[in-house]
């Protein structure tokens, strides 16, 4: 896990209230998202499968968790399949049989991370939001994820920055796709805000989207680099700044 003092520990009660309320309201309107099934370590529904499949899914979940912890501690390049197996309590051979190669492990890990972070915390709510509330969804999604599992978010951000290297190509490709999609979704949400009157009309949606994503990644970089960096309070301050910057200006009173 991350070294002591490298991030501010947050209790569950200090997680962003706005996101918890948004999540509750969204799931109340969408019964299919409610927790009505048993789930394994990888989050999959295991209520109707056999014992062998349950063991397989549990071991897969443990291997992916071990890979997450090791990447947060030492980076992807220095994480080996043998180390993943040892951390999870399994043999190197099981890791190879399960994922085929280190690239196979990376593909499975990215899918899990992106689904849990963006797919669960951000995407469902971003589709329904516009203007500043959409930006708040993204920021609170990050804050909530860091609060719930800082090690997993450190691993995700570590992979984002390691995507600057030419190899593995899969990492560069997937992270580029994530950032393009997030900029596009934010730009569309800001445009909706302009249309409904909640965002000032002279706003450039694409420029705002680029600035939001760039600022969030810059804050994350400092969080990884500098022990004690106030990541959460930085995100809160940026959220407040964007709310003020995009707020429609009152029309001048005719003289």
> Does 23 map to a domain?
yes
Residue 5, pLDDT above cutoff 50: no
Give the pLDDT band (50/70/90) at residue 255.
low
Give the pLDDT band (50/70/90) at residue 48.
low
pLDDT tens digits for 177-229?
999 999 999 999 999 999 999 999 999 999 999 999 999 999 999 999 998 99
> Does 78 map to a domain?
no
CA distances (Å), origin 152, targets 2, 158, 161, 230, 248: 10, 10, 15, 18, 37
- Whole domain around residue 220: which residue ranges? 14-31+102-246
d(CA 163, CA 144): 24
Total count of domains within the chain? 1
d(CA 222, CA 216): 10
Question: Tokens 């329904």, residue?
Answer: 128
Helix %, strand %, coil % of the chain (to 5): 70, 0, 30
> Does 96 map to a domain?
no
Predicted confidence at residue 89, as pLDDT, reads 94
CATH of the domain at 198: 1.10.357
> Does 206 map to a domain?
yes
pLDDT tens digits for 130-180?
999 999 999 999 999 999 899 999 999 999 999 999 889 999 999 999 999
> Does 44 map to a domain?
no
d(CA 129, CA 10): 27
CA distances (Å), origin 61, targets 9, 110, 141, 231: 24, 13, 23, 28
> Does 196 map to a domain?
yes
Predicted confidence at residue 252, as pLDDT, reads 67
pLDDT tens digits for 94-108?
999 999 999 999 999
């Amino acid at each position: 896990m991350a070294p002591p003092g490298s991030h501010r520990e947050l209790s569950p009660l200090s997680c962003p209230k706005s996101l918890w309320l948004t999540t509750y309201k969204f799931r109340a309107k969408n019964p299919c998202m409610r927790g009505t099934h048993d789930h394994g370590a990888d989050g999959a529904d295991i209520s109707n499968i056999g014992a062998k499949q349950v063991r397989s899914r549990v071991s897969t979940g443990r291997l992916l968790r071990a890979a997450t912890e090791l990447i947060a501690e030492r980076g992807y390049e220095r994480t080996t399949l043998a180390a993943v197996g040892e951390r999870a309590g399994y043999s190197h051979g099981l890791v190879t049989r399960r994922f085929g190669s280190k690239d196979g492990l990376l593909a499975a890990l990215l899918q899990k991370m992106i689904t849990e972070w963006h797919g669960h915390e951000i995407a469902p709510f971003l589709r329904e939001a516009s203007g500043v509330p959409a930006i708040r969804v993204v920021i609170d999604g990050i804050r909530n994820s860091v609060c719930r599992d800082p090690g997993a978010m450190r691993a995700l951000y570590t992979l984002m920055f390691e995507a600057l290297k030419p190899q593995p190509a899969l990492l560069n490709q997937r992270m580029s796709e994530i950032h393009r999609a997030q900029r596009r979704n934010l730009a569309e949400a800001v445009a909706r805000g302009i249309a409904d009157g909640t965002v000032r009309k002279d706003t450039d949606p694409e420029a705002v989207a680029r600035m939001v994503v760039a600022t969030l990644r810059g804050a994350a970089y400092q969080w990884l680099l500098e022990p004690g960096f106030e990541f959460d309070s930085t995100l809160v301050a940026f959220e407040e700044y964007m709310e003020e910057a995009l707020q429609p200006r009152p029309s001048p009173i005719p003289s």
